[in-house]
Amino acid sequence: MSKNTCRMIGMIMMILSVFLLIGGLYLPQTDIPDGITSACTVSGLLLLITGIIFYKILKNE
């Protein structure tokens, strides 16, 4: 992959991770089960880590 493609994928992953983290941390607990909020938080963290790897590390090749 080219440098710009890695950067774009990394930025998209980081943007999606922000929405998942906000959803997992700030959704009201009365309507949504705990499993869904935990899954949103964990997947947001994983997307954030993967996005940083794509944006920072893989662009140097």
Burial-class residue 15 by CB neighbours within 10 Å (0-12, 13-18, 19+).
exposed
Sequence spans of domains, the chain = 3-60
Residue 44: its pLDDT value, please? 92
Stretch 22-45: mean pLDDT, rounded?
83
- Looking at residue 26, what is its pLDDT? 83
**Cα torsion at 4, 40, 19, 29 (round to 10°)?**
180
pLDDT band at 37 (very low <50, low <70, confident <90, very high): confident
**32-52: average pLDDT:** 89
